[in-house]
Structure 1
Protein backbone atom coordinates (compact mmCIF):
# COMPACT_ATOMS: atom_id res chain seq x y z
CA UNK A 1 0.00 0.00 0.00
CA UNK A 2 2.59 2.57 1.15
CA UNK A 3 6.27 2.15 0.32
CA UNK A 4 8.90 4.68 1.36
CA UNK A 5 12.53 4.19 0.44
CA UNK A 6 15.71 6.12 1.34
CA UNK A 7 13.78 9.20 2.45
CA UNK A 8 15.80 12.18 3.67
CA UNK A 9 14.35 15.32 5.21
CA UNK A 10 15.91 18.51 6.59
CA UNK A 11 14.85 21.38 8.81
CA UNK A 12 17.11 24.10 7.48
CA UNK A 13 20.62 22.70 7.92
CA UNK A 14 19.45 20.02 10.38
CA UNK A 15 19.23 16.53 8.86
CA UNK A 16 16.19 14.97 10.61
CA UNK A 17 15.34 11.82 8.64
CA UNK A 18 18.20 9.68 7.31
CA UNK A 19 17.51 7.24 4.46
CA UNK A 20 14.27 6.07 6.10
CA UNK A 21 12.52 3.01 4.70
CA UNK A 22 8.92 2.18 5.62
CA UNK A 23 6.63 -0.49 4.17
CA UNK A 24 2.94 -0.51 5.11
CA UNK A 25 1.35 -3.65 3.63
CA UNK A 26 -2.21 -3.43 2.35
CA UNK A 27 -4.83 -4.58 4.85
CA UNK A 28 -2.49 -4.55 7.84
CA UNK A 29 -1.87 -2.24 10.80
CA UNK A 30 1.73 -1.04 10.99
CA UNK A 31 2.88 0.68 14.17
CA UNK A 32 5.62 3.30 13.90
CA UNK A 33 7.51 3.36 17.19
CA UNK A 34 10.40 5.10 18.92
CA UNK A 35 11.20 7.50 21.74
CA UNK A 36 10.13 11.15 21.70
CA UNK A 37 11.91 13.29 19.14
CA UNK A 38 13.18 10.54 16.83
CA UNK A 39 11.22 11.72 13.76
CA UNK A 40 7.94 9.80 13.84
CA UNK A 41 5.63 12.80 13.46
CA UNK A 42 8.02 14.37 10.96
CA UNK A 43 7.74 11.24 8.80
CA UNK A 44 3.94 11.36 8.91
CA UNK A 45 3.97 15.02 7.94
CA UNK A 46 6.22 14.18 5.01
CA UNK A 47 3.66 11.60 3.91
CA UNK A 48 0.92 14.24 4.10
CA UNK A 49 3.02 16.81 2.24
CA UNK A 50 3.40 19.24 5.13
CA UNK A 51 7.19 18.93 5.05
CA UNK A 52 9.36 18.94 1.95
CA UNK A 53 11.43 15.84 1.25
CA UNK A 54 15.04 16.24 0.16
CA UNK A 55 15.42 12.84 -1.51
CA UNK A 56 13.97 9.35 -1.65
CA UNK A 57 10.74 7.83 -2.95
CA UNK A 58 7.21 7.57 -1.57
CA UNK A 59 4.61 5.46 -3.37
CA UNK A 60 0.97 4.89 -2.42
CA UNK A 61 -0.66 2.03 -4.31
CA UNK A 62 1.58 2.76 -7.30
CA UNK A 63 1.08 6.56 -7.18
CA UNK A 64 4.07 8.82 -6.58
CA UNK A 65 3.14 10.96 -3.57
CA UNK A 66 6.13 13.27 -3.79
CA UNK A 67 4.78 15.13 -6.81
CA UNK A 68 1.32 15.54 -5.25
CA UNK A 69 0.21 18.62 -3.33
CA UNK A 70 -1.09 18.60 0.24
CA UNK A 71 -4.63 18.96 -1.14
CA UNK A 72 -4.25 16.07 -3.57
CA UNK A 73 -3.13 13.47 -1.04
CA UNK A 74 -6.49 12.97 0.69
CA UNK A 75 -8.04 12.55 -2.76
CA UNK A 76 -5.65 9.63 -3.33
CA UNK A 77 -7.11 7.92 -0.28
CA UNK A 78 -5.11 9.09 2.73
CA UNK A 79 -6.94 9.92 5.95
CA UNK A 80 -4.88 11.67 8.64
CA UNK A 81 -5.50 12.05 12.37
CA UNK A 82 -2.80 14.45 13.61
CA UNK A 83 -1.22 14.50 17.04
CA UNK A 84 -3.32 16.62 19.37
CA UNK A 85 -6.43 15.98 17.24
CA UNK A 86 -6.60 19.54 15.81
CA UNK A 87 -10.36 19.66 15.52
CA UNK A 88 -12.01 23.05 14.99
CA UNK A 89 -13.27 24.01 18.47
CA UNK A 90 -15.79 26.64 17.37
CA UNK A 91 -17.38 24.45 14.70
CA UNK A 92 -20.05 21.90 15.56
CA UNK A 93 -19.36 18.19 15.43
CA UNK A 94 -21.34 18.02 12.19
CA UNK A 95 -19.37 20.90 10.65
CA UNK A 96 -16.07 19.29 11.64
CA UNK A 97 -17.11 16.09 9.90
CA UNK A 98 -18.34 17.92 6.81
CA UNK A 99 -14.89 19.41 6.20
CA UNK A 100 -13.83 16.22 4.43
CA UNK A 101 -16.88 15.98 2.15
CA UNK A 102 -15.41 17.87 -0.85
CA UNK A 103 -12.83 15.08 -1.16
CA UNK A 104 -15.55 12.51 -1.78
CA UNK A 105 -16.94 11.76 -5.22
CA UNK A 106 -19.66 14.04 -6.53
CA UNK A 107 -23.07 12.68 -5.68
CA UNK A 108 -21.73 11.01 -2.52
CA UNK A 109 -21.04 14.03 -0.36
CA UNK A 110 -22.70 13.10 2.88
CA UNK A 111 -21.29 11.84 6.16
CA UNK A 112 -21.18 8.01 6.00
CA UNK A 113 -23.61 6.42 8.48
CA UNK A 114 -21.04 3.85 9.59
CA UNK A 115 -19.08 6.65 11.30
CA UNK A 116 -22.01 7.15 13.67
CA UNK A 117 -22.23 3.39 14.16
CA UNK A 118 -18.57 3.39 15.21
CA UNK A 119 -18.90 6.55 17.31
CA UNK A 120 -22.50 6.90 18.59
CA UNK A 121 -21.47 9.85 20.79
CA UNK A 122 -20.84 11.93 17.65
CA UNK A 123 -24.45 11.47 16.56
CA UNK A 124 -25.65 12.37 20.05
CA UNK A 125 -23.54 15.56 20.04
CA UNK A 126 -23.90 16.46 16.37
CA UNK A 127 -24.75 20.10 17.02
CA UNK A 128 -22.41 20.66 19.96
CA UNK A 129 -19.23 22.66 19.41
CA UNK A 130 -16.10 20.56 19.02
CA UNK A 131 -14.34 22.47 21.77
CA UNK A 132 -17.02 21.45 24.26
CA UNK A 133 -16.28 17.73 23.85
CA UNK A 134 -14.04 15.79 26.21
CA UNK A 135 -10.57 14.74 25.05
CA UNK A 136 -11.75 11.24 24.24
CA UNK A 137 -14.76 12.52 22.33
CA UNK A 138 -12.55 14.93 20.37
CA UNK A 139 -10.30 12.02 19.41
CA UNK A 140 -13.31 10.10 18.15
CA UNK A 141 -14.32 13.19 16.17
CA UNK A 142 -10.83 13.47 14.68
CA UNK A 143 -10.92 9.82 13.58
CA UNK A 144 -14.43 10.24 12.19
CA UNK A 145 -13.34 13.33 10.25
CA UNK A 146 -10.48 11.34 8.68
CA UNK A 147 -12.86 8.55 7.72
CA UNK A 148 -15.19 10.97 5.90
CA UNK A 149 -12.67 11.22 3.04
CA UNK A 150 -13.18 7.49 2.37
CA UNK A 151 -9.51 6.57 2.88
CA UNK A 152 -7.74 3.41 1.87
CA UNK A 153 -4.88 4.32 4.23
CA UNK A 154 -5.65 5.74 7.69
CA UNK A 155 -2.75 7.44 9.48
CA UNK A 156 -3.05 8.13 13.22
CA UNK A 157 -0.46 10.04 15.26
CA UNK A 158 -0.61 8.92 18.92
CA UNK A 159 -4.40 8.57 19.15
CA UNK A 160 -4.20 7.48 22.83
CA UNK A 161 -2.30 10.55 24.03
CA UNK A 162 -4.08 12.23 26.95
CA UNK A 163 -7.11 9.93 26.71
CA UNK A 164 -8.78 8.20 29.66
CA UNK A 165 -8.16 4.42 29.82
CA UNK A 166 -11.71 3.30 28.99
CA UNK A 167 -11.73 5.40 25.81
CA UNK A 168 -8.24 4.15 24.90
CA UNK A 169 -9.66 0.63 24.93
CA UNK A 170 -12.61 1.71 22.76
CA UNK A 171 -10.30 3.38 20.25
CA UNK A 172 -8.19 0.22 20.10
CA UNK A 173 -11.28 -1.86 19.37
CA UNK A 174 -12.35 0.56 16.63
CA UNK A 175 -8.92 0.52 14.97
CA UNK A 176 -8.99 -3.29 14.98
CA UNK A 177 -12.49 -3.27 13.49
CA UNK A 178 -11.54 -0.80 10.76
CA UNK A 179 -8.45 -2.81 9.94
CA UNK A 180 -9.50 -6.42 10.35
CA UNK A 181 -13.21 -6.33 9.57
CA UNK A 182 -13.42 -3.45 7.09
CA UNK A 183 -10.04 -3.99 5.43
CA UNK A 184 -8.68 -0.48 6.01
CA UNK A 185 -4.87 -0.23 5.95
CA UNK A 186 -3.58 1.58 9.06
CA UNK A 187 -0.33 3.35 9.91
CA UNK A 188 -0.21 4.22 13.59
CA UNK A 189 2.30 6.12 15.72
CA UNK A 190 2.05 4.80 19.26
CA UNK A 191 4.23 4.77 22.37
CA UNK A 192 2.01 2.65 24.63
CA UNK A 193 3.44 -0.83 24.14
CA UNK A 194 0.35 -2.84 25.24
CA UNK A 195 -1.83 -0.81 22.85
CA UNK A 196 0.65 -1.28 20.01
CA UNK A 197 0.72 -5.03 20.57
CA UNK A 198 -3.09 -5.13 20.72
CA UNK A 199 -3.79 -3.42 17.41
CA UNK A 200 -0.62 -3.87 15.35
CA UNK A 201 0.34 -6.55 12.85
CA UNK A 202 3.78 -5.07 12.16
CA UNK A 203 6.16 -2.58 13.73
CA UNK A 204 8.82 -0.18 12.49
CA UNK A 205 11.21 1.55 14.92
CA UNK A 206 12.93 4.88 14.34
CA UNK A 207 15.92 6.03 16.37
CA UNK A 208 17.48 9.48 15.89
CA UNK A 209 15.87 9.80 12.48
CA UNK A 210 16.94 6.40 11.21
CA UNK A 211 15.07 3.18 10.54
CA UNK A 212 16.59 0.63 12.94
CA UNK A 213 14.19 -2.33 13.11
CA UNK A 214 10.96 -3.70 11.66
CA UNK A 215 9.02 -6.93 11.46
CA UNK A 216 5.94 -8.81 12.58
CA UNK A 217 4.64 -7.59 15.96
CA UNK A 218 5.52 -10.97 17.47
CA UNK A 219 9.18 -10.18 16.74
CA UNK A 220 9.14 -7.06 18.96
CA UNK A 221 11.22 -8.63 21.73
CA UNK A 222 12.52 -7.39 25.07
CA UNK A 223 15.93 -6.54 23.63
CA UNK A 224 14.44 -4.16 21.04
CA UNK A 225 12.12 -2.62 23.62
CA UNK A 226 15.01 -2.01 26.01
CA UNK A 227 17.33 -0.57 23.37
CA UNK A 228 14.94 1.68 21.48
CA UNK A 229 11.67 2.18 23.38
CA UNK A 230 12.24 2.41 27.13
CA UNK A 231 12.91 5.81 28.65
Structure 2
Protein backbone atom coordinates (compact mmCIF):
# COMPACT_ATOMS: atom_id res chain seq x y z
CA UNK A 1 0.00 0.00 0.00
CA UNK A 2 2.79 2.42 0.93
CA UNK A 3 6.14 2.02 -0.80
CA UNK A 4 9.15 4.23 -0.07
CA UNK A 5 12.37 3.82 -2.03
CA UNK A 6 15.71 5.59 -1.77
CA UNK A 7 14.35 8.46 0.32
CA UNK A 8 16.77 11.23 1.32
CA UNK A 9 15.91 14.25 3.45
CA UNK A 10 17.92 17.12 4.89
CA UNK A 11 17.54 19.71 7.65
CA UNK A 12 19.75 22.46 6.29
CA UNK A 13 23.13 20.80 5.81
CA UNK A 14 22.23 17.86 8.05
CA UNK A 15 21.45 14.64 6.17
CA UNK A 16 18.61 13.10 8.23
CA UNK A 17 17.25 10.24 6.10
CA UNK A 18 19.68 8.15 4.06
CA UNK A 19 18.46 6.15 1.03
CA UNK A 20 15.61 4.87 3.14
CA UNK A 21 13.32 2.05 1.96
CA UNK A 22 10.04 1.04 3.60
CA UNK A 23 7.18 -1.22 2.53
CA UNK A 24 3.89 -1.02 4.43
CA UNK A 25 1.80 -4.05 3.54
CA UNK A 26 -1.91 -3.53 2.95
CA UNK A 27 -4.05 -4.79 5.81
CA UNK A 28 -1.14 -5.11 8.24
CA UNK A 29 0.17 -3.06 11.15
CA UNK A 30 3.80 -2.01 10.68
CA UNK A 31 5.78 -0.55 13.57
CA UNK A 32 8.57 1.94 12.90
CA UNK A 33 11.09 1.63 15.73
CA UNK A 34 14.36 3.12 16.92
CA UNK A 35 15.87 5.33 19.59
CA UNK A 36 15.06 9.03 19.89
CA UNK A 37 16.38 11.19 17.09
CA UNK A 38 16.90 8.50 14.45
CA UNK A 39 14.40 9.96 11.96
CA UNK A 40 11.08 8.24 12.70
CA UNK A 41 8.96 11.40 12.98
CA UNK A 42 10.87 12.98 10.10
CA UNK A 43 9.90 10.05 7.90
CA UNK A 44 6.22 10.37 8.84
CA UNK A 45 6.29 14.08 8.09
CA UNK A 46 7.80 13.32 4.68
CA UNK A 47 5.00 10.85 3.99
CA UNK A 48 2.43 13.50 4.90
CA UNK A 49 4.12 16.23 2.86
CA UNK A 50 4.97 18.32 5.90
CA UNK A 51 8.69 18.11 5.09
CA UNK A 52 10.23 18.14 1.61
CA UNK A 53 12.28 15.23 0.33
CA UNK A 54 15.57 15.67 -1.50
CA UNK A 55 15.31 12.51 -3.57
CA UNK A 56 13.60 9.13 -3.68
CA UNK A 57 9.99 8.06 -4.17
CA UNK A 58 6.87 7.67 -2.05
CA UNK A 59 3.99 5.72 -3.58
CA UNK A 60 0.56 5.26 -2.06
CA UNK A 61 -1.64 2.64 -3.72
CA UNK A 62 0.66 2.78 -6.72
CA UNK A 63 0.46 6.56 -7.15
CA UNK A 64 3.53 8.78 -6.59
CA UNK A 65 2.85 11.34 -3.87
CA UNK A 66 6.29 12.73 -2.97
CA UNK A 67 5.64 15.93 -4.95
CA UNK A 68 2.04 16.47 -3.82
CA UNK A 69 1.29 19.25 -1.35
CA UNK A 70 0.22 18.01 2.08
CA UNK A 71 -3.42 19.07 1.59
CA UNK A 72 -3.74 16.58 -1.28
CA UNK A 73 -2.60 13.54 0.73
CA UNK A 74 -5.34 13.16 3.34
CA UNK A 75 -8.13 13.03 0.69
CA UNK A 76 -6.28 10.10 -0.90
CA UNK A 77 -7.00 8.13 2.27
CA UNK A 78 -4.12 8.81 4.66
CA UNK A 79 -5.08 9.57 8.26
CA UNK A 80 -2.38 11.06 10.49
CA UNK A 81 -2.14 11.34 14.27
CA UNK A 82 0.98 13.42 15.00
CA UNK A 83 3.18 13.16 18.05
CA UNK A 84 1.72 15.27 20.82
CA UNK A 85 -1.79 14.87 19.35
CA UNK A 86 -2.13 18.52 18.16
CA UNK A 87 -5.85 18.74 18.71
CA UNK A 88 -7.42 22.21 18.64
CA UNK A 89 -7.71 23.16 22.34
CA UNK A 90 -10.32 25.92 21.92
CA UNK A 91 -12.60 23.87 19.66
CA UNK A 92 -15.11 21.44 21.09
CA UNK A 93 -14.77 17.69 20.69
CA UNK A 94 -17.43 17.82 17.99
CA UNK A 95 -15.67 20.62 16.14
CA UNK A 96 -12.34 18.80 16.30
CA UNK A 97 -13.94 15.70 14.78
CA UNK A 98 -15.57 17.78 12.05
CA UNK A 99 -12.21 19.22 10.94
CA UNK A 100 -11.37 16.12 8.92
CA UNK A 101 -14.72 15.66 7.21
CA UNK A 102 -13.97 17.79 4.09
CA UNK A 103 -11.24 15.28 3.22
CA UNK A 104 -13.69 12.37 3.02
CA UNK A 105 -14.12 10.94 -0.46
CA UNK A 106 -17.92 10.91 -0.06
CA UNK A 107 -17.96 14.55 1.19
CA UNK A 108 -20.22 13.53 4.07
CA UNK A 109 -20.57 16.17 6.80
CA UNK A 110 -21.64 13.61 9.41
CA UNK A 111 -19.21 12.25 11.98
CA UNK A 112 -19.15 8.44 11.57
CA UNK A 113 -20.98 6.67 14.39
CA UNK A 114 -18.36 3.97 14.71
CA UNK A 115 -15.96 6.57 16.17
CA UNK A 116 -18.25 6.87 19.19
CA UNK A 117 -18.50 3.09 19.42
CA UNK A 118 -14.70 2.94 19.61
CA UNK A 119 -14.42 5.93 21.95
CA UNK A 120 -17.63 6.31 24.00
CA UNK A 121 -16.04 9.08 26.08
CA UNK A 122 -16.06 11.35 23.02
CA UNK A 123 -19.84 11.04 22.71
CA UNK A 124 -20.16 12.08 26.33
CA UNK A 125 -17.95 15.15 25.86
CA UNK A 126 -19.08 16.49 22.50
CA UNK A 127 -19.52 20.05 23.79
CA UNK A 128 -16.37 20.13 25.92
CA UNK A 129 -13.34 21.98 24.60
CA UNK A 130 -10.45 19.81 23.47
CA UNK A 131 -8.02 21.56 25.78
CA UNK A 132 -10.11 20.54 28.79
CA UNK A 133 -9.72 16.81 28.13
CA UNK A 134 -7.16 14.59 29.82
CA UNK A 135 -4.13 13.41 27.85
CA UNK A 136 -5.71 10.04 27.20
CA UNK A 137 -8.97 11.59 26.07
CA UNK A 138 -7.10 13.96 23.76
CA UNK A 139 -5.32 11.00 22.20
CA UNK A 140 -8.64 9.28 21.59
CA UNK A 141 -9.93 12.50 20.05
CA UNK A 142 -6.88 12.76 17.79
CA UNK A 143 -7.36 9.17 16.58
CA UNK A 144 -11.08 9.80 16.09
CA UNK A 145 -10.33 12.91 14.05
CA UNK A 146 -8.01 10.90 11.78
CA UNK A 147 -10.62 8.16 11.38
CA UNK A 148 -13.29 10.70 10.44
CA UNK A 149 -11.74 11.06 6.98
CA UNK A 150 -12.38 7.36 6.28
CA UNK A 151 -8.68 6.52 5.75
CA UNK A 152 -7.19 3.49 4.04
CA UNK A 153 -3.91 4.03 5.93
CA UNK A 154 -3.72 5.27 9.51
CA UNK A 155 -0.38 6.73 10.65
CA UNK A 156 0.18 7.05 14.41
CA UNK A 157 3.22 8.79 15.90
CA UNK A 158 3.82 7.51 19.46
CA UNK A 159 0.14 7.19 20.47
CA UNK A 160 1.04 5.94 23.97
CA UNK A 161 3.28 8.89 24.90
CA UNK A 162 2.19 10.43 28.20
CA UNK A 163 -0.94 8.28 28.44
CA UNK A 164 -2.15 6.43 31.53
CA UNK A 165 -1.77 2.61 31.34
CA UNK A 166 -5.48 1.77 31.14
CA UNK A 167 -5.95 4.06 28.14
CA UNK A 168 -2.77 2.66 26.53
CA UNK A 169 -4.36 -0.79 26.73
CA UNK A 170 -7.60 0.52 25.21
CA UNK A 171 -5.76 2.18 22.33
CA UNK A 172 -3.86 -1.03 21.65
CA UNK A 173 -7.12 -3.01 21.53
CA UNK A 174 -8.67 -0.44 19.17
CA UNK A 175 -5.71 -0.52 16.79
CA UNK A 176 -6.00 -4.31 16.59
CA UNK A 177 -9.76 -4.08 16.01
CA UNK A 178 -9.33 -1.54 13.21
CA UNK A 179 -6.62 -3.66 11.66
CA UNK A 180 -8.27 -7.06 11.99
CA UNK A 181 -12.00 -6.29 11.71
CA UNK A 182 -12.09 -3.65 8.97
CA UNK A 183 -8.69 -4.27 7.40
CA UNK A 184 -7.32 -0.79 8.06
CA UNK A 185 -3.61 -0.58 7.27
CA UNK A 186 -1.60 0.97 10.12
CA UNK A 187 1.86 2.53 10.27
CA UNK A 188 2.86 3.06 13.87
CA UNK A 189 5.82 4.75 15.56
CA UNK A 190 6.21 3.28 19.04
CA UNK A 191 9.00 2.94 21.58
CA UNK A 192 7.17 0.79 24.13
CA UNK A 193 8.20 -2.72 23.13
CA UNK A 194 5.32 -4.63 24.83
CA UNK A 195 2.80 -2.37 23.08
CA UNK A 196 4.53 -2.80 19.72
CA UNK A 197 4.56 -6.58 20.10
CA UNK A 198 0.87 -6.54 20.99
CA UNK A 199 -0.39 -4.54 18.01
CA UNK A 200 2.12 -4.85 15.16
CA UNK A 201 2.56 -7.56 12.54
CA UNK A 202 5.81 -6.20 11.10
CA UNK A 203 8.63 -3.93 12.19
CA UNK A 204 11.17 -1.61 10.65
CA UNK A 205 14.08 -0.28 12.71
CA UNK A 206 15.81 3.02 11.93
CA UNK A 207 19.26 4.02 13.15
CA UNK A 208 20.79 7.39 12.28
CA UNK A 209 18.33 7.88 9.45
CA UNK A 210 18.89 4.50 7.85
CA UNK A 211 16.81 1.33 7.78
CA UNK A 212 18.86 -1.32 9.59
CA UNK A 213 16.39 -4.17 10.13
CA UNK A 214 12.92 -5.19 9.02
CA UNK A 215 10.69 -8.23 9.21
CA UNK A 216 7.79 -9.87 10.98
CA UNK A 217 7.40 -8.88 14.63
CA UNK A 218 8.22 -12.44 15.70
CA UNK A 219 11.71 -11.93 14.22
CA UNK A 220 12.48 -9.00 16.55
CA UNK A 221 15.00 -10.76 18.77
CA UNK A 222 17.13 -9.78 21.75
CA UNK A 223 20.15 -9.03 19.56
CA UNK A 224 18.27 -6.38 17.56
CA UNK A 225 16.66 -4.99 20.69
CA UNK A 226 19.97 -4.59 22.48
CA UNK A 227 21.76 -3.13 19.47
CA UNK A 228 19.15 -0.65 18.26
CA UNK A 229 16.37 -0.14 20.83
CA UNK A 230 17.69 -0.21 24.38
CA UNK A 231 18.94 3.05 25.91
Give the TM-score taking structure 1 as reference length: 0.99
Aligned-CA RMSD value: 0.7
Relative distance call for 1:184 and 1:106 in structure 2 (3 A) is closer
Q: What does the per-residue CA deviation read over 1:153-175, in whole Å, with 9 as the maximum and x for residues that have no partner?
A: 00000000000000000000000
Larger mean CA deviation between 97-106 and 154-163 belongs to 97-106
C-alpha distance in 1 between matches for 2:37 and 2:207: 9
SS in 1 for 2:142: helix
Q: What does the per-residue CA deviation read over 1:76-135, in whole Å, with 9 as the maximum and x for residues that have no partner?
A: 100000000000000000000000011113552210000000000000000000000000
Q: What does the per-residue CA deviation read over 1:165-217, in whole Å, with 9 as the maximum and x for residues that have no partner?
A: 00000000000000011100000000000000000000000000000000000
C-alpha distance in 1 between matches for 2:145 and 2:4: 25
Matched pairs, number: 231
What is the match of residue 58 of structure 2? 58
SS in 2 for 1:122: helix
C-alpha distance in 1 between matches for 2:105 and 2:150: 9
SS in 2 for 1:191: coil
SS in 2 for 1:21: strand
* Unaligned ranges ≥5, structure 1: none
Give the TM-score taking structure 2 as reference length: 0.99
C-alpha distance in 2 between matches for 1:25 and 1:101: 26
Asked if structure 1 preserves the Cα contact closer than 8 Å seen for 2:102 and 2:108, the reply is no
C-alpha distance in 1 between matches for 2:60 and 2:107: 25
